[in-house]
Amino acid sequence: MDLKLTGQVALVTGAASGIGQHLAQGYAAAGAKVVVNDINADGVAQTVDTIKAQGGDALGAPVDITELSAVEGMIADATKAFGQVDIVVNNAALLTEHTLYLETDPASCEREIRVILFGTMHCIRAALPGMIERNHGKILNIATDAARVGQEREANYSAAKGGVISFSKSIAKEVGRHNINVNVLSPGATNSPMRIGLQEGLKEKLGEERWLAREEKVKRLYPLRRIGEMEDISNTAMFLTSDVARHITGQVLSVNGGFAMVG
């Protein structure tokens, strides 16, 4: 199926590595021009270089999305370079601690919320006027099933992502009249570099045999008996931000192998 993304301009936040980088490369491979955002300037440059080496078109935007003025400048630069921004994928996130809520650092809690929730809100605030003027736009916010069902030791992260879900539904109601779709993609466990790194640490701690047994137990929690891959996320993201999905808005789609079946 041709998603007709050729010539579209897609902004992907948190795209210096991991799922965000995979998303940026996926949009570029589908023919979109990509604005690559992350606070990690070296990672942004690497993603841009990779896209260009593969024949794509990309603009680096090493911007802190917790600062609204910086985000507004990023959208202005993207518009100057590419003419407009058609698609915004809010992927940037931060998980600073994996511990019980009362043991978390309040400053870390605030940082997670600023990046995940306020960063998403800033990008949408900056991009929406142009979308409204053109009467067309696609916004996709990346959440987590931890925000839908709860997750111990990730209370701050889950709360911030839960805010993203609520905000997305509210904005979808506000801007639908302008032919703008706003949806949420909610991944389950995914074999991103972050998860792979954590698993390597566990393997060292447990030994390969015990680690393999543990992985098999984890997979049995998923009806599809597999952990997600990054292309499962990027393929779904590109579908939801294409005109093929023009009649879908205000929805939360879990891509989790059936781990959590949330109504």
Active site residues: 157
Tokens of 163: 């805010």
CA–CA dist 72, 227 (Å, integer): 37
CA–CA dist 259, 156 (Å, integer): 21
Complete DSSP assignment for 12-46: ESS-SSHHHHHHHHHHHHTT-EEEEE-S-HHHHHH
Angle between helices 193-206 and 208-219 (to 10 degrees): 130
Tokens of 119: 């960063």
3-state DSSP assignment of residue 173: helix
Using CA atoms, how far residue 183 sits from 6, 94, 105, in Å, is: 21, 20, 31
- 86 and 8 in contact (C-beta within 8 Å)? yes
- 70 and 125 in contact (C-beta within 8 Å)? no
**Residue 115 corresponds to which amino acid?**
V
